[in-house]
Amino acid sequence: MYLNARAVRRQRGSALILAVFILTVMMLLSLALLRVLNQETTNVGLEINATRAWSAAQSGIDFGLARVLNRSDEASDEARDACDAVSTRAGALALAPGEGLANHTGFYGCTVALACTYRAAAADDDAEHRFAIEADATCGAQAIAARRVIEVLAYD
């Protein structure tokens, strides 16, 4: 019995060391999990902003096509003027919620730059006018901002 009491006294702090080791391992695993969750949160935010930017760019293209193709006269000068109205020479036409984009919470923090290039139709073309419209949309804050560019060709 004397040997058992002596052995117990020698092992008295071993449970504490084992508990500290287990707590350290659990803390490291928790920190790793928090880091992964933080990265996933950032990725989800970026994916949401990318989808919003794509929708904003599509809306910009629709806005540009409506301006270019809905003319009262088919004269070449008016077609060129309609294209120029979508894209100014000083820079692209900028759209924002309530100013060309739908005034909806899904587009808050989004901007769309539109550019239009007019090309006269070739002699053997069925169309009279050709337009190249580009929408460059950006959505989100700096750290998770997403940008999408869509270009369409329209014939009239």
Average pLDDT for 61-68: 89
Question: Tens digits of per-residue pLDDT, 102-111?
Answer: 777 778 888 8
Q: Could you give the CA distance from residue 9 to residue 18 in angstroms, rounded to a whole number?
A: 16
> Residue 141: what are its φ and ψ, rounded to 5°?
-75, 175
pLDDT at 69 over 80: yes
Contact 53, 147 (CB under 8 A): yes
- pLDDT-based confidence at residue 37 (cuts at 50, 70, 90): very high
Helical axes 14-69 vs 76-86, angle rounded to 10° = 160
Question: Tens digits of per-residue pLDDT, 2-16?
Answer: 557 666 666 677 788
pLDDT at 26 over 60: yes
User: How many residues comprise the chain?
Assistant: 156
- pLDDT-based confidence at residue 94 (cuts at 50, 70, 90): confident
Contact 139, 145 (CB under 8 A): yes
Percent helix, percent strand, percent coil in the chain, to nearest 5: 50, 25, 20
Contact 152, 68 (CB under 8 A): no
